[in-house]
Structure 1
Amino acid sequence: MGKLDREIENRMRVKQTRKKFEKFIGECERKEKTLIEKAAEAKSKGLKAEYNQTLVFLKMIVARKEKSKHMLHQLTLQELLRDEASNTKQFNESMVVLSKETAKLFGNFDYKKMLKEQQKMAIEAQKTKSKLDMFLDQADSVFDDISDMESNVEIDDELEARINAQLSEIDINIDEQLAKFNEL
């Protein structure tokens, strides 16, 4: 497998990982909406156990979604770093070409010193690429390992507000239906 093939394969892995995260976040948002509706319904019916169980799952979904958003952001930053490293490498290679031409013109240019610096930069670019590969491997395993949840007062308050809003909407719908029924 050539260098270009490996680069294409790596870019495809990044793209696939990005799509997995985006799909997972979308699924979390759909589940979150459904669970808020179910929590509001359970709360309106006074089903405390069902409400509490739904709230636990809701918190888990929100935590997973936020963790995935954070990881997607990290992936984006790593992509930017990779692109910058690639551009730097191309720049350095161009500088080597220009250095050779300049050395031919001036004859006393220290090409060896410049080449050493270019090699150091190429090694750094390779290290960055290796770090990106490690990140991608870790990101793939995260979908299997997301299980730690922390209690977050801010998330709890937001969820409670959204559930109460849904509950208010249910009450309004019931009032409207009663009014229509009374008109009959």
Structure 2
Amino acid sequence: MVKIFAVCVLYKGPDNAKILKAAYDLQQFGFFQRGSVQEFMGFTSKIITERSNECARQSVKEQEYMCHVYVRLDNLAGVAITDHEYPYRVAHNMLNQVLDDFAAKVPSHFWPITEESAIPYTELPNTLAKWQNPREADALTKVQEEVEETKIILHKTISSVLERGEKLDDLVSKSENLSLQSKTFYKTARKTNSCCSFG
């Protein structure tokens, strides 16, 4: 069954990306794993956004996941994390609509300075639910064909997005955004090559 696990709206600053709003659907993961899985999805969303150019669309394949990213000219970015079955075009159409809606409702001067909890945007959980079925959701996007005409760059792994010499393991161990529990979870997942490993 096709699935979207996360939708994030980010601001790409000169040195890093920050999550402005995010919604997750992690029901298929064990209760005690969900916190770590959510942290890693946020972490991965930031890394991919930081390493994407403005006006670029990418779909990055990493194990059982696809990370779809779009960075606009105004540095507002969207990331959708889905399974491999979810159609790329539909994911990118969703990101278009999410970013247009977010930009219309949240003034741009808030983006670089406001914490996620303080941003008055509550639509993402509904968006995530509405777009779970790509066939239904795609009926909403028939009019919008820009994405089909735009080249989506497909990467085989997250390693191909990282800068030369960078390793995901190093980024994880240096990260201040991940708890010790999530770092341990990541190392264990890497060893067992489990579904929750993004590396």
TM range (shorter): under 0.3
Decide which structure has the larger Cα Rg and report it: 1
Identify the structure with bigger relative contact order (alpha carbons < 8 Å, sequence gap 6+).
Answer: 1
TM-score of the aligned structures, taking structure 1 as reference length:
0.21
TM-score of the aligned structures, taking structure 2 as reference length:
0.20
If each structure's strand is expressed as a fraction of its own residues, which one has the higher value?
A: 2
